[in-house]
């Protein structure tokens, strides 16, 4: 198996290269950031790409964004993401492109080298390798966003304006509707988002948080 690795930690990058070699696999390119990933893959045409999520320059989500971009341009290239965290937004986007030849494993839970190598081989063969915690968090995200999907286009407009900090009167003026119409939309939003009246919680704030989440 020919592999391209993108991992900013020198120790981990070298460690992966050596352990994969021990199992008969060849690392044809080992990068310290995601910038040259596209060119490296184009040149080496690997059987698998293994990359970290957080890499230079900002150490946020460069690796996962690179994985999404790579799958968009080369959907047949198997990709295995290694991360310390579950980056929900790009993880769900990556999986939405198809689960054939895709893996997402958390570094701290890769306790057995043989299991990791088998997972890498499975992804290279067109299978899937997802850490249970990744699946769990994406399911939670899906459930969290499901009520938002039930909102009408107008209700989403109202919620968007709420998120911008506008009052009911300002929302009514922006949408050229009555204050009463805005109140009806907001009541419907609260109902669909399962936000009953409460003495201790501000429903407007909670609704906005769900919208932004």
94-142: per-residue pLDDT in tens? 887 777 899 999 988 777 889 899 999 999 999 888 888 877 776 666 5
- Which pLDDT value is given to residue 196? 85
In this prediction, residues 9-17 reach a mean pLDDT of 93
Cα separation, 53 vs 116, in Å, equals 17
Is the pLDDT score of 26 beyond 90? yes
Q: Where does the chain show beta strands of DSSP type E?
A: 2-6, 26-31, 48-52, 79-83, 102-106, 128-130
Tell me which of 88 and 182 has the higher pLDDT. 182
Q: What is the CATH number of the domain that holds 192?
A: 1.10.10.10
- Which pLDDT value is given to residue 108? 80
CA-to-CA dists, residue 71 to 5, 63, 143, 152, angstroms: 15, 12, 26, 32
Domain boundary among 109, 142, 175: 142
Tell me which of 44 and 137 has the higher pLDDT. 44
Buried b (16+ CB within 10 A) or exposed e, 170-204: ebbeebeeeeebbeebbebbbebbebeeeeeeebb
Assess whether 21 and 41 both reside in one domain.
yes
- Which pLDDT value is given to residue 139? 61
Assess whether 171 and 119 both reside in one domain.
no
Tell me which of 208 and 49 has the higher pLDDT. 49
Q: Shortest CA distance to 131 belongs to which of 158, 157, 108?
A: 108
Q: What is the CATH number of the domain that holds 39?
A: 3.40.50.2300
Question: What range defines the domain where residue 157 resides?
Answer: 150-212
In this prediction, residues 145-165 reach a mean pLDDT of 84
Radius of gyration of the chain measured on its C-alpha atoms: 22
In this prediction, residues 37-48 reach a mean pLDDT of 95
pLDDT digit string (tens) for 175-201? 999 999 999 999 999 988 888 887 655
Assess whether 202 and 175 both reside in one domain.
yes
CA-to-CA dists, residue 13 to 9, 80, 169, angstroms: 6, 14, 57
Domain boundary among 142, 160, 189: 142
In this prediction, residues 74-79 reach a mean pLDDT of 94
Domain boundary among 84, 117, 142: 142
- Which pLDDT value is given to residue 79? 96
- What are the structure tokens assigned to 120, written together? 């890498």
In this prediction, residues 31-56 reach a mean pLDDT of 93
Assess whether 118 and 174 both reside in one domain.
no
Looking at every residue in the chain, the average pLDDT score rounds to: 87
Indicate whether this model's pTM tops 0.75. Answer: no
Relative orientation angle of helices 153-163 and 168-175, to the nearest 10 degrees: 130
- Could you tell me what percent of the chain has a pLDDT over 90? 48
Give the full edge-to-edge strand order of the sheet including 26-31: 26-31, 2-6, 48-52, 79-83, 102-106, 128-130
- DSSP assignments along 112-135, one per residue: -HHHHHHHHHHHHTT-EEE-HHHH
């Amino acid at each position: 198996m020919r592999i391209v690795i993108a991992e900013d930690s020198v120790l981990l990058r070298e460690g992966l290269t050596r352990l994969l070699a021990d199992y008969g696999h060849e690392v044809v390119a080992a990068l310290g950031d995601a910038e040259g990933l596209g060119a490296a893959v184009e040149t080496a045409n690997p059987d698998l790409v293994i990359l970290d999520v957080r890499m230079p320059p900002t150490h946020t989500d460069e690796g996962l964004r690179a994985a999404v971009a790579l799958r968009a341009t080369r959907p047949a290239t198997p990709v295995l993401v290694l991360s310390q965290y579950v980056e929900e937004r790009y993880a769900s986007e990556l999986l939405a492109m198809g689960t054939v030849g895709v893996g997402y494993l958390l570094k701290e839970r890769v306790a057995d080298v043989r299991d990791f190598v088998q997972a890498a081989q499975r992804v290279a063969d067109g299978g899937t390798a997802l850490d249970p915690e990744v699946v769990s968090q994406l399911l939670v995200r899906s459930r969290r966003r499901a009520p938002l999907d039930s909102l009408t286009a107008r209700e989403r407009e109202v919620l968007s304006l709420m998120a911008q900090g506008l009052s009911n009167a300002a929302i009514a003026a922006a949408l050229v509707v009555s204050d009463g119409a805005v109140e009806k939309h907001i009541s419907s939003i609260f109902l669909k988002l399962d936000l009953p009246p409460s003495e201790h919680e501000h429903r407007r704030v909670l609704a906005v948080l769900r919208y932004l989440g």
